[in-house]
Amino acid sequence: MTKKDDVFNEVIKKPSDFKFGATVANAFDDMVERSVPYYNEIQRMIIEQVCEFAVPDTNVYDLGCSTGTTFLNLDPLVDERIRFVGVDDSKDMLQKCTQKLKEAKLKRPYELKNADLHQDFVIENASAVVLCLTLQFVRPIYREKLLRRIYEGLNPGGVLVISEKILAEDSLFNRNFIKYYYDYKRRNQYSELEISQKREALENVLIPYKLSENIKMLMEAGFGHTEVFFKWYNFSGFIAIKN
Ligand SMILES: C[S@@+](CC[C@H](N)C(=O)[O-])C[C@H]1O[C@@H](n2cnc3c(N)ncnc32)[C@H](O)[C@@H]1O
């Protein structure tokens, strides 16, 4: 059972950086649905596009797989010879993910790896890689390297599907978009205290880039075709193909 997200509901006396520990893992599914505009639709669009590119006898990676939502949504729709590989550095998230995938009785081969995206880990024989709200947590100096590693691990014709919080290209719009985003959170029953404490906790941890900076990074990593498939103020989805 997912707990209601009340992680930032009480006054936090000693503020610290946001962590994907047990408290967040237990409330994560509620948190992501109430904090990310159109999260379910973004998931649906990611899945729809992965289905187009996933090929039997290859791997589909979900980097920063959290509680396994992407794989649970994808499982009924793709060939059982496609292997799922989930990667996350949070043991608490992977525990939830393991439990949910077990309950769903997946018939395909799958593996959940407790690994840090800042370190080297193997990406191989991939027809699709998903980074749903995860690249924003990778420290900026490691992002290009990670995208190059994904590019190298993808088979020709393979796809990388990304969803990210972003900065607007223009700082005036950026201020407005953030204001509209906090209004969205208020509409989803987050209090002023919850909004401000979470903002502080995420400040040094979630570092958004502009959409143009993300696309440039993908091109520099070697990707040929890129396209934006989703945008809502400071949230976006974009896709890249390895030629
Ligand atoms: C916002 S969540 C991703 C949500 C998930 N992909 C979904 O669609 O519901 C970010 C995830 O990335 C993981 N993460 C953050 N930094 C990481 C790193 N350096 N290495 C591995 N996983 C990381 C976190 O533990 C967390 O589970």
List the single range of 93-102, 133-142, 189-198 with lowest mean pLDDT. Answer: 189-198
| CB neighbours of residue 146 within 10 Å | 20
Best mutation site among 40, 70, 88, 129 for ligand 1 pocket (most ligand atoms within 8 Å of CB): 88
By alpha-carbon position, which residue is closest to atom 25 of ligand 1? 90
Tokens 């080297």, located at residue: 120
Residues of the chain above pLDDT 90, percent: 81
Judge if the beta carbon of residue 118 lies within 6 A of ligand 1. Answer: yes
Terminal Cα-to-Cα distance of the chain (whole angstroms): 42
Best mutation site among 43, 66, 98, 198 for ligand 1 pocket (most ligand atoms within 8 Å of CB): 66
Judge if the beta carbon of residue 136 lies within 6 A of ligand 1. Answer: no
- What is the model's pLDDT at position 136? 98
Q: How many angstroms is it from 65 CA to the middle of ligand 1?
A: 6
Cα Rg of the chain (Å, integer): 17
In ligand 1, the atom with minimum distance to the C-alpha of 142 is: 19
In ligand 1, the atom with minimum distance to the C-alpha of 93 is: 27
Best mutation site among 134, 164, 206 for ligand 1 pocket (most ligand atoms within 8 Å of CB): 134
For the stretch 44-99, pLDDT in tens is: 999 999 999 999 999 999 999 999 999 999 999 999 999 999 999 999 999 999 99
pLDDT at 13 exceeding the cut of 70: no
- What is the model's pLDDT at position 142? 97
- What is the model's pLDDT at position 20? 86
Structural domains of the chain, ranges and CATH numbers in brackets? 22-241 (3.40.50.150)
What does the alpha-carbon distance between residue 75 and residue 140 come to, in Å, rounded to a whole number? 32
| CB neighbours of residue 104 within 10 Å | 13
For the stretch 211-238, pLDDT in tens is: 999 999 999 999 999 999 999 999 999 9
For the stretch 121-134, pLDDT in tens is: 899 999 999 999 99
Over residues 7-29, the mean pLDDT reads: 79
- What is the model's pLDDT at position 28? 87
Within the chain, residue ranges assigned H as helices are 22-35, 39-53, 69-74, 91-103, 140-153, 171-187, 192-202, 211-221
